[in-house]
Structure 1
């Protein structure tokens, strides 16, 4: 009996973590950049001329 209660508590905690993560993902404010939050982008401006020409998409 106690084992079932512990299992239900663990399942409930995991479910709450998943719901919270999904809620944060859908409620995230939009990012206007082409990278959409990608911080490990290989397309980075290297010269002054490149800084004026930002990429349309990033990492994909």
Structure 2
């Protein structure tokens, strides 16, 4: 599963009033930019791929 590399993470809320992270950009197109240009088959394929990725995330067991 492609994931961005975390470059910086700050949870201290001293610079901003919220937590933030800085990550590198993963190569590829933003789905929001191309969704309207896709046909129904392509959209279905993307939804299937997203479902598989979500299933992989749900399968990760975290230790307490």
Measured against the shorter chain, the TM-score band is 0.3 to 0.5
Higher helix share: 1
Give the strand-richer structure, 1 or 2. 2
Query: Taking CA–CA contacts closer than 8 Å with sequence separation of 6 or more, which of the two structures ends up with the larger relative contact order?
Result: 1
- Under a length normalisation based on structure 2, what TM-score does the superposition of the two structures give? 0.36
What TM-score does the superposition give when structure 1 sets the normalisation length?
Answer: 0.38
